[in-house]
Amino acid sequence: MRRDDRADVKHEVLFEDALTPLKHRSLFLGRALSGRRFFAARVFLGMVLVVLIGRAGWMQVARGADFQQQSENNRLREAPLLPRRGIIRDRQGRILADNIPRFQVTMTPMELPRDPAEMESDVSLAARVLGLSVNDLLPMANATGSSRDEAMIIADQVSYRQAMDFAVAWPDLQGFSLEVAARRRYPWSHEIQSLSHVLGYVGKLSPEEYQEVRGTGYRRADEIGKSGVERGHEEELRGALGARTSEVDAHGRVKALVGERPAEDGTDLSLALDLDLQRAAEQALRKGLESANVDRGSAIALDPRTGEVLAAVSWPAYDNNIFSGGVSSTAYAKLINDDRNPLFPRVWAGTYPSGSTVKIVIAVAALAEKVISANTSIMSVGGIQIGGSFFPDWKAGGHGPTNVRSAIAWSVNTFFYTVGGGYESFVGLGVDRLGEWMRKFGLGSETGLDLPGEREGLVPTREWKEKTKGERWFVGDTYNLSIGQGDLLVTPVQVAAYTAAIANGGYRIEPHFARTGTSTEMGERLADASIINTVRQGMRDNITYGSGRALSTMPFPVAGKTGTAQWHSEKDYHAWFTSFAPYENPEIVVTVLLEEGGEGSAVSVPVARDILQAWWDLRKARQGIF
């Protein structure tokens, strides 16, 4: 073989092996992989394989059901079926609140197309059909967090024509829904606006309210009772959502109905309130306010046997229909900027000095604690002088010898100064026992009214004054407390409640609007029957010859107590009157307050007279007595 041929052979061998002897020398063609590194690589690849197999097993076994459910959720869509809210009626069965249908359109951001261009196209189409601005809808469509999977209302009270146009476009819109909801209607509230405080209204859940009720069956788009009976009885009035489940394609278009869970309608509610008496009470109060040249007041009528509220008027008032389906900003601003505060339910949320109406409670306390007897006589000479302070009677020169009945009849301050705070050698109840008996009769706490927003009022104590005012308690404070002045604060419903306890023989009642029956179980008597009867007689004397004698000519016997509460050094007194009738077997309590009205006997008594007469006339007519 020639030399050149041998050289060619040697070059060809180079391509057969990576390392081949060449003239007895090694030729290196790349870095060799050591055994240790090769083993490490095998271990690493093995671990990766184990992880992948384990992950696949975990997804198929441990999470298989979850992923299957997610797959089903992508295939299935659940649309809510809205319940009918319970109807509210008065004691005669007349409808005070019902429902009328309305169309609304909701959007669920999570169900919108994932492609941004397609999503914007759908949102633009929906906005165009509904007459909305796409710039208002896009931020809602791009919502983040947990709100993405919640339906949100984008158009409410949609017209029938718009609803039909939207229904035509609906198959091409992913993530939108057309719902037939209900709008609350209050058929009598325009005529009798004082009903609005009692009934309240419903409105859209605020973010704060939604956080409170989240997980209890509410959606962000739902409504909830905001005030009054609508709020106090929300649970039974609302009902429960149902659902309709449909199968959808990849674009969210409905292909078939899979199943349906019917909604549970809310429970209808019957109130003890009498629509006719409510109308009469509102008219009487408005007439009294006009006569006294003031514009704020309240009146409540209840059954002392059961606690059922027959009428409750806070004035000024408003028409709660304006809140149905959403209130305009202009209308709402007008209400909240009104200095008279027409949204304020004065009957249970207004707090005022009780004036002399609380003297019936103090009389019970003095008799029960044996500070006085029914025959104890105290001389009224026009007031009491303590050091440099003078505590006057309302009548100059005083009323002369006074027992508990005549003290109630004429509202004699000196008598109650003495039995409350003591004088000279006479030992009175003192602040501690006064407070104890006031709390026994329900002052300083809510009455249990089945509406939100009830205020507790205030029964002042030594500790309260030291903590709040940084001052110690003086005997003058006890004198003021003994006649319903000073720091004592009550609500009109509290005054009606303790009047009811005197009327029914000494049993504390719990006022309520929902009708529960014709009788209720009485608790423990607050004081002996003889003591309660003495105070009842004093209230009857108030009508026959005392400060409430304007009612002495009524066709049925009435008992009552006037009150005039000083609350401001530069403004007129609050005018109170509380009463019950018929005297022997009471069926009604009527309590009236005219804010800054002046003397209770002059302005509040006529209002109560008109309410009591209206009640009597209705009672006769319904019993067939003419």
Question: Any residues with CB less than 8 A from the CB of 249 and at least 6 apart, and which?
Answer: 255
Cα–Cα distance measured from residue 166 to residue 105, given in angstroms and rounded to the nearest whole number: 9
Q: Which residue has the tokens 């309210």?
A: 209
- At residue 75, what is the residue type? R
Catalytic-residue membership of 356:
yes
Cα–Cα distance measured from residue 580 to residue 618, given in angstroms and rounded to the nearest whole number: 16
Q: Which two tokens stand for residue 301?
A: 């009528």
- At residue 246, what is the residue type? S
Question: Any residues with CB less than 8 A from the CB of 221 and at least 6 apart, and which?
Answer: 104, 106, 150, 151, 152, 153, 204, 205
For 11-39, the three-class secondary structure string (H helix, E strand, C coil) is HHHCCCCCCCCECCECCCCCCCCCHHHHH
Question: Any residues with CB less than 8 A from the CB of 340 and at least 6 apart, and which?
Answer: 295, 296, 316
Helix (H) or strand (E) holding 96: strand 95-107
Q: Which residue has the tokens 């008996």?
A: 437
Burial class (CB in 10 A: 0-12, 13-18, 19+), 272: buried
- Determine phi and psi for 142, rounding to 5 degrees: -95, 20
Are the C-beta atoms of 205 and 144 separated by less than 8 Å? no
Give the bridge partners for 297, in sequence order: 315, 594
CA 553, 555, 557, 562: dihedral to nearest 10 degrees?
Answer: -50
Are the C-beta atoms of 347 and 395 separated by less than 8 Å? no
Are the C-beta atoms of 460 and 398 separated by less than 8 Å? no
Cis peptide upstream of residue 304 (ω within 30 degrees of 0) = no
Q: Which of 194, 314, 354, 356 is catalytic?
A: 356
Give the bridge partners for 191, in sequence order: none
CA of residue 417 relative to chain centroid, distance: 39
Give the SS3 label for residue 223.
Answer: strand
Distances (CA, A) of 398 to 323, 401, 407: 54, 9, 11
Are the C-beta atoms of 247 and 255 separated by less than 8 Å? yes
Angle, helices 529-544/492-503, rounded to nearest 10 degrees: 110
Q: Which residue has the tokens 């707090």?
A: 351
Cα–Cα distance measured from residue 500 to residue 309, given in angstroms and rounded to the nearest whole number: 11
Cα–Cα distance measured from residue 551 to residue 563, given in angstroms and rounded to the nearest whole number: 15
Q: Which two tokens stand for residue 424?
A: 């000279």
Burial class (CB in 10 A: 0-12, 13-18, 19+), 446: middle
Are the C-beta atoms of 490 and 355 separated by less than 8 Å? no
Cα–Cα distance measured from residue 156 to residue 187, given in angstroms and rounded to the nearest whole number: 21
Cα–Cα distance measured from residue 577 to residue 360, given in angstroms and rounded to the nearest whole number: 12
Residues tagged active-site: 356
